[in-house]
Structure 1
Amino acid sequence: MASEGTGVSELAARYSTALFDLADENKALDQVASDLTTLKQLLAESADLRRLVRSPVISRADQGRAMAALLDEVAASDLTKRFVGLVAANRRLFVLSGMIDGFLAELARRRGEATAQVTAARPLTDAQIEAVTEALRSVVGNKVAVNVTVDPELIGGMIVRYGSRMIDASVRTKLNKLQLAMKASGGQV
């Protein structure tokens, strides 16, 4: 089982490195990063899209057409469309998330940025993202790229992951802690 995980991450790394090199050659790093960030957000928000990219039952042609339509809808660059089309044709959409993460991590590394993962209960406004970025920048001391995903199951608040650190200020976690405390004291939940 562990070798499967390693194989998947190696596969994602190879594809993300190839895309990064192509985007760098074509001077399209920012555009591709923007496209991939949008695609990552769409994957996080849509269970149907996640099923599409993970399903071995859906043909590669159908997956390719669906992804092409989605990328047209969000006005993705030609390079991003061709890359995702190739990934679909090669039946590798199941590691698309890893490819996106690898690309964004390499871009951040090359720019001297640290990357923080922020999971919020609802989409954050630009002002909220800027406030989180500034707070992290003051703690970290250098540039910070913030990747935001939405998980409505958090109920409220957010979880921030930076390197090996994690700050969980979600309502879900607070409720779980309260429930455990009540159980430990013999109270009914």
Structure 2
Amino acid sequence: MAELRTLARPYAKAAFAAAQEHKELAEWAQVLTIAGQVTANADIRQLLANPGLEEQKKAELILEVVQDGLTDQIRNFFAVLAENRRLTLLPEIAALFNTYRADLERTVDIDVTAAFELTDEQQQKLAQALSRKLEREVSLAASMDKSLIGGVVIRAGDLVIDASVRAKLNKLADALGS
């Protein structure tokens, strides 16, 4: 995974620079996200691995699925990816592009898993507190997992805050076992 990210990074940076230059961040993000989802599909990955199909044709097939928001710059970007046999990197390119965009726009997507259903008021208070702590605009998605017993697990990119009872019990068990 790390190697794929390393290969994808220059393409993601180039795409981000082009999107910024033409003030098309939203369009590029949409196209790359859809293309990344398409190329992450196992059947499409098998198609992309087919040596009998020309690289440019593979790019055209992906762009046919995307359809909306295709500018000349985006088409050229996909042509370069095809020429360099890097279409399979699209999921990583999309992820990096969206990370660069979130950094620029000072936003963060946060997933909160709680042992109980969070009310709208609780979600709003949590979002406000995290927004102050992270100094970013927060988009919060909440889900429920009763196996946590109590508390919450918060995920924001690489940051994970596990304040669940299950995690505390596991930590206690480890301490007693050693």
User: TM-score w.r.t. structure 1 length?
Assistant: 0.57
One-letter amino acid of the counterpart of residue 83, structure 1? F
Deviations 1:151-180, CA, capped at 9 Å, x for gaps: xxxxxxxx974233278xxxxxxxxxxxxx
| Alpha-carbon distance in 2 for matches of 1:12, 1:69 | 22
Q: Which residue of 1 aligns with 2:69?
A: 76
Cα displacement (A) at 1:21: 0.5
| Alpha-carbon distance in 2 for matches of 1:165, 1:136 | 15
Q: How does 1:38-187 map to 2 (within 5 A)?
A: 38-43=34-39, 46-53=41-48, 55=49, 57=51, 58-72=53-67, 75-78=68-71, 79-116=73-110, 137-138=127-128, 140-141=130-131, 142-144=136-138, 161-162=155-156, 163-165=158-160
SS in 2 for 1:114: strand
**Residues 50, 19 of structure 1: CA spacing in aligned structure 2 closer, same or farther, 3 A cutoff?**
same
Cα displacement (A) at 1:36: 2.1
Structure 1 runs of 4+ with >4 Å offset: 133-136
SS in 2 for 1:144: strand
Q: Which residue of 1 aligns with 2:14?
A: 18
Give the CA RMSD over aligned residues: 3.4
Deviations 1:87-131, CA, capped at 9 Å, x for gaps: 12210012111111111000101111124479xxxxxxxxxxxxx
Is the Cα contact below 8 Å between 1:43 and 1:50 reproduced in 2? yes
Is the Cα contact below 8 Å between 1:40 and 1:100 reproduced in 2? yes
Cα displacement (A) at 1:134: 5.5
Is the Cα contact below 8 Å between 1:8 and 1:95 reproduced in 2? yes
| Alpha-carbon distance in 1 for matches of 2:74, 2:125 | 32
Structure 1 unaligned segments of length 5 or more: list them: 119-132, 148-158, 168-189
User: TM-score w.r.t. structure 2 length?
Assistant: 0.60
| Alpha-carbon distance in 1 for matches of 2:140, 2:14 | 23
One-letter amino acid of the counterpart of residue 95, structure 2? D
User: Size of the alignment, in residue pairs?
Assistant: 136
Structure 2 unaligned segments of length 5 or more: list them: 113-122, 142-152, 163-178
